[in-house]
């Protein structure tokens, strides 16, 4: 069965500040397949910070420094926080300079994806769909049609559908997106660990390709859960 790629959302936030070099280092050391970070262009530099309106007196890590830390250890999932395509060349320069080939560029600013596709013709580009993209009057068929057609319109190839409910993110929907060679990305929130594991197994069951997660302890719990499951199968003679 397919195992979703697990990406630490803003790093190891249990033990370090979000979007910090130490948090990214820790998440990768603990077994995350990649780390997600938020990038903005400010005062001539690409910096890693989540909020659009942030404390400008505080020092934030540069993307260059983060990429040097991440290189060769896992995927860099870069969420672009910008409303202008001016950021694109700076991103391209940073990725080339640091020889980063394991990356995905994502954004919720959907008009930005077409110029990103022009600059990165072969890269994984993620379209982030927010709660506002799914209104109460929309039925399941309409939601699937809207997201699929927006994927084609934008040129993205990874559908970030973390805001969909479990009833909306179905196996049929995932399989439909896969038919068009789109990958599917979801998210596991920091909740009770048993519920996190249930969500992980559900995403695995329906074929989701990758997901971000908030709680770094999920990695250890997932490994323990796998070992317990394996020993259970051996005990019941399900494995030879």
Instruction: Dump pLDDT digits (tens) for 41-76.
Output: 999 999 999 999 999 989 999 999 999 999 999 999
**What per-residue confidence (pLDDT) applies to 179?**
98
Helix (H, G, I), strand (E, B) or coil at 30: coil
**What per-residue confidence (pLDDT) applies to 1?**
61
Confidence of residue 2 (pLDDT cuts 50, 70, 90): confident
d(CA 11, CA 34): 9
Confidence of residue 119 (pLDDT cuts 50, 70, 90): very high
Render pLDDT for 135-150 as a digit per residue (tens, 0 to 9): 999 999 999 999 999 9
Render pLDDT for 153-173 as a digit per residue (tens, 0 to 9): 999 999 999 999 999 999 999
pTM of the entire predicted model: 0.92
For the chain, the helix, strand and coil percentages under 3-state DSSP, each to the nearest 5: 40, 20, 40
Confidence of residue 223 (pLDDT cuts 50, 70, 90): confident
Look at strands 5-9 and 210-213 and give their pairing.
parallel
d(CA 156, CA 165): 22
* 199 contacts: CB under 8 Å, gap ≥ 6: 188
* 125 contacts: CB under 8 Å, gap ≥ 6: 104, 105, 106, 113, 116, 117, 154, 155, 156, 157, 158
| Cross-strand partners of 34 | 7, 75
Top-confidence residue, 238 or 25:
25
Domains and CATH numbers, the chain: 5-235 (3.20.20.190)
Residue 112 DSSP one-character state: G
Query: Mean pLDDT throughout 194-202?
Result: 95
d(CA 80, CA 231): 43
**What per-residue confidence (pLDDT) applies to 135?**
94
pLDDT > 90: percent of the chain: 90
* pLDDT score of 226 more than 90: no
């Amino acid at each position: 069965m397919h195992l979703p790629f697990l990406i630490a959302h803003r790093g190891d936030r249990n033990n370090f500040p979000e979007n910090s070099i130490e948090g990214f280092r820790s998440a990768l050391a603990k077994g995350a397949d990649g780390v997600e970070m938020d990038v903005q262009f400010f005062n001539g530099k690409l910096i890693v910070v989540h909020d659009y309106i942030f404390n400008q007196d505080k020092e934030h890590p540069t993307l260059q420094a983060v990429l040097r830390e991440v290189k060769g250890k896992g995927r860099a999932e870069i969420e672009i926080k910008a409303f202008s395509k001016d950021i694109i060349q700076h991103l391209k320069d940073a990725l080339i300079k640091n020889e980063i080939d394991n990356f995905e560029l994502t954004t919720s600013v959907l008009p930005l994806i077409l110029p990103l596709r022009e600059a990165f013709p072969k890269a994984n580009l993620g379209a982030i769909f927010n709660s506002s993209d799914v209104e109460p009057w929309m039925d399941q068929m309409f939601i699937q049609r809207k997201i699929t057609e927006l994927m084609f319109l934008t040129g993205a190839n990874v559908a970030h559908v973390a805001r969909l409910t479990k009833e909306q993110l179905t196996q049929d929907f995932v399989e439909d997106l896969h038919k068009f060679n789109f990958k599917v990305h979801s998210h596991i929130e920091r909740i009770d660990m048993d519920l996190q594991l249930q969500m992980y197994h559900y995403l695995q069951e329906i074929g989701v390709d990758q997901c971000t997660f908030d709680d770094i302890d999920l990695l250890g719990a997932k490994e323990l859960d796998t070992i317990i499951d394996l020993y259970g199968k051996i005990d019941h003679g399900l494995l030879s």
